Chains A and B, each alone.
Chain A
Amino acid sequence: MKLSYYRGLVIIGILTFFGVSCESNVAHNQTQINTQDSLYQVIMDIHDEVMPLTSKIVQKKDLLEKLSSNDSLVKTKIQELDAAEEAMWDWMYQIKAPKTLRDSLDPGQLDEYLKEQLIQIRTVKDQMLKANDNNE
């Protein structure tokens, strides 16, 4: 009787330990998820800020293409605008939301992925602003 009482206590102890440990693990994951989602939002805010430049860049490129096809300066400008536009399209084509990656990447890998995406979208932003400003 006494033995089974102690066994019961041990089992309850083990279950409580795992319960608490799981709970803290869930809390830890949720914190990570929130941080990752916030970083993704920062990335999207940068994208939303510069995306409206795309149509301006496309239209400027179209005007230049109608101007001259032989002028090397015009060609350089067209290439700069084209590269900036394509950089944004290419970036959008590959970016994935964190929720779609959680099954395939561990938390550390996802953090790294988002940091890399932040660097990439900042580069695209600079490229688009520069191309647009250079061709005012």
Chain B
Amino acid sequence: MNRNTLYKSTAFLAIITASLVLFSCTKNQTQPLPYIGHADIVDGDTIYPSIPDFAFINQLGDTITNATFSNKAYVVDFFFTSCPTICPKVSNSMLKVQEAFKNDPNLLLLAHSIDVKRDTVGRLFEYAEKLGADHQKWHFVTGDKMEIYDIADDYFSIAIENDEAPGGFDHSGRLILVDENRYVRAFCDGTVEEEVDAFILKVNQLLSEMKDPQG
């Protein structure tokens, strides 16, 4: 084999390898985010669980419903302002999400207090202010105690396999991503930085899918 043939063979192999790498990367990028939860087959259609109607009051005293999130994706967590351990870490992760998408109006944040007795509207406002929350983007809500606990069950029963949840949602630290049609599309442990970073990429992917449904 002369030198010229060797160069040509090497170049050919390099092109094939680069094409394979490029193809595999492109293929990964175009994989849509999965729908999370146990699907039912109804009349041949796959039906994923979705988030039911809700109405809560936010830190500004405004009523927040599903309509607030119409045509938008949102990230959910459950917390309480006097939480001494997990919630501060999770709230900081929510802040990171807010900062990552501060200029994207299609992404909102929804933090539910599970201590409705003590977390008044005023206390939620103070908490939001202290964190540096954008009051138009990040809603800290209170409301009927059992409605909050019931909807927490809805989010978490979709997002967490039973064997993965030894306790309740009240100390799980989960962030949950919901799409514009109320389907859960991703979740992560909000106390683990690496998981939150990967989660932010998924939020970004969902927002891209919403802007360009055909991919």
Whether A47 contacts B85 in the complex (CB less than 8 A), given A55-B152, A89-B118, comes out as yes
List residues 40-68 of chain A with CB under 8 A from any CB of chain B: 44, 47-48, 51-56, 58-59, 62
> Which residues in B have their C-beta under 8 angstroms from that of A55?
114, 149, 152, 167-170
| CB-CB nearest in chain B for A56 | B168
Interface string of B72-90 (1 = CB under 8 A from A): 0000000010111110000
Chain A residues near B83: list those with CB within 8 A. 92
Residues on A with beta carbons closer than 8 Å to the beta carbon of B80: 92
The reply to whether A54 and B170 contact each other, CB–CB distance below 8 Å, is yes
A48 with B86: CB separation less than 8 A? yes
Main secondary structure of the interface of A (DSSP, over half): helix
Question: Which chain B residues lie closer than 8 Å to A89 at the CB level?
Answer: 82, 115, 117-118
Q: Which residues of A contact B82 (CB under 8 A)?
A: 89, 92-93
Residue in B117, B145, B166 whose CB lies within 8 Å of A52: B166
Q: Which residue on B lies nearest to A62, using beta carbons?
A: B146
Q: Give chain A residues whose Cβ lies under 8 Å from the Cβ of B146.
A: 58, 62
- CB atoms of B84 and A52 under 8 A apart: no
Q: Mark B101-123, 1 if CB is under 8 A from A, else 0.
A: 00000000000001101100000
| B171 contacts partner chain A, Cβ-Cβ < 8 Å | yes
**Consensus secondary structure, chain B interface:** loop
Interface residues on B, range: 20 to 34
Residues of chain B within 8 A of A62, CB atoms compared: 146, 149
A93 to B82, CA, bound (A): 5
Whether the pair A93, B168 counts as a contact (CB closer than 8 A) is no
User: Which chain B residues lie closer than 8 Å to A52 at the CB level?
Assistant: 166-168, 170-172
Contacts of B118 in A (CB 8 A): 89, 93
Residues of B within 8 A of A54 (CB): 114, 168, 170-171
Contact A58 B169 (CB under 8 A): no
Query: Hey, which chain A residues are within 8 Å of B117, CB to CB?
Result: 89
Within 8 A of A (CB), among B135-180: 145-146, 149, 152, 166-172
Q: How far is the CA of A95 from the CA of B83 in the complex (A)?
A: 10
* Contact between chains at A59 and B149 (CB < 8 Å): yes
Give A4 Cβ to nearest chain B Cβ, in Å: 58
Q: For the complex, give the distance between the alpha carbons of A89 and B115 in Å.
A: 8
Q: Among A52, A62, A97, which residue has the most Cβ atoms of chain B within 10 A? A: A52
A96 to chain B, nearest CB (A): 9
**Shortest beta-carbon distance from B172 to chain A in Å:** 8
- Interface centre among A44, A55, A93, by most chain B C-beta atoms within 10 angstroms, is A55
Contact of B149 with A58 in the complex, beta carbons under 8 Å: yes
> With the chains together, A131 CA to B186 CA distance in Å?
35
Q: How many Å lie between the Cα of A97 and that of B86 in the bound state? A: 14
Can you list 7 A-B pairs, Cβ within 8 angstroms, ordered by A?
A: A52-B168, A53-B167, A53-B168, A54-B114, A54-B170, A62-B149, A95-B84
